[in-house]
Structure 1
Amino acid sequence: MHPKDESLSATIAHGQQLLMSAGIENPRRESRLLLAHALGLPALGPVGCGTVDQAVRERFDAMLRRRMAHEPFAYITGSQGFWTLDLAVSPDTLIPRADSETVIEALLTLRPERGRALRLLDLGTGTGCLLLAALSEFPCAVGLGIDRSEAACRMAAANAVRNGLAGRAMMLCGEWLEAVRLGEADRFDVVISNPPYIPVQDIAGLMPEVSGHEPRLALDGGPDGLRSYRIILAALREALAPGGLALLEIGQGQDMAVSALAGASGLRLASLRADLGGVVRVVCLEAA
């Protein structure tokens, strides 16, 4: 039982001990962040002699139990930062990761003119993170996000509103490029995608935050991890405007296989982009 009022430092230490016992990395940092969330604060400053009341302790303990079960931190707080955006997240979507920002960095390198009126397409949009980050950098662009999960489409649409981009972003529920019927005038200047790329037999061996909580639909890349790329690349050339650009996020070691699939589909490899860890993360393709 907790005392009626407990100091901030004691509450943090209590959470740290429980998280450490559950094998959570950086348990003190996570305890502080969870307590800040329980208090309704973005972060905790110096704790000093502040105290925690019963209602806050109960919220904090409920969050600790979820985190000790290896539920991702972002699902507990309901939000995740990506690029310059603040995004709502839920178990219906993958949690946006810093590695995926490599897609936006590649886009800005290959299309540096920020004033261009680009037509953007995001395949497997999830939270909308890639599409919305791109739109935030290209103020004259418009974009379409497609996801086969209705819940993900609703989340992406809500994130567009949350970040002031709803007027330039539309979300559509459907299966990859089958969701749209394109004439030549409807083709896209830029297609971005972070499709499922984990070989199905490898999912169980991922960290429990991923294998036990993130949506399997957004992880499962089939037996070799390349199933989604085969589907996307078979139709991608017809979706791109002349000179159009496609940026596909990939898993570690998939660059040569995805590049070969792209070449067989009539697309030119423009470059490969590595993330901050040095892993090739994005295949950059151009239409003839």
Structure 2
Amino acid sequence: MVGRKKEIAVAAVIYFVTMFTLLTAVHRFLETWNSIEINFFVAGALVLLVAIGWGYVLTALIFAPKKQMEDTLTSLSNDIMHELNIPLATIKANTAMLQKTLTDERSLKRIQRIEDASTRLKKLYDQLMYSIHKEMHDIEKEAFDLKPLLEERIEVFKEQKRNPFVLDIQSYEVVADKIGFEQMFDNLISNAMKYSSKDAPIFVTLSDDILSVKDEGVGMETPELLCVYERYYQVDGNKDGKGLGLALVKAYCDEEGIEIHIESEKGRGTTVSLTLSKIHC
């Protein structure tokens, strides 16, 4: 960082000295020759061209190492993520095979725990890939219908054979970061399941610009509601996870202009409502 500041300072001094010298030369030129209108135009054009060209050269020289570093980091992150994906895919493939061949209930439960852990790892992998890509590149927004997306994500969670889902979803077109929306919705569902008993239903509703996810779980009191968007905060410290879910949800909603509102009652459950009018198309 210190080296970069020094380079910028040196470049600024060089640019200043160059422009000062050029302006001095132009001033003497105008004093020597008659200060007619054409001379002013010629001198002004010359100064402008030199300023633009020299500024471009200095900018390119200053930011060339930064561009090279970004390219290196992108290549390195892609290699690392590829290497992480291989063992993860191997674990999932082998657990699927073992589930088909094993008959012992105790062994099947152990395999299921491995399968659940690999599913969580895959989710973390996808989130990390998305975060890296988002840092390196601008995420393009796209138009899509929320109804099939939400139904698809719910089907994924149904595979866990945990909570039943009650859906009331209308077709609704939006323009947004689609992958980010999927991850945001996944976090809402994961939170609802995490703080609910296994037989408690999860309600997902989409109508009149409002997407809501409601559970009948442990719920929260007012002091807890004030902290839910803080990173690493968890209502129940005994639950698995790092407490990042709602912090990530809030960050995505702020970026997209989505209003988020949470209603909760201790022992009765929580409802998270998203106002989607600003991304509706």
Same fold (TM > 0.5): no
TM-score between both structures, scaled by the size of structure 1: 0.23
Which structure shows the higher helix fraction? 2
Task: Give the strand-richer structure, 1 or 2.
Answer: 1
TM-score by length of 2: 0.24
Which is higher, the Rg of structure 1 or of structure 2? Answer: 2
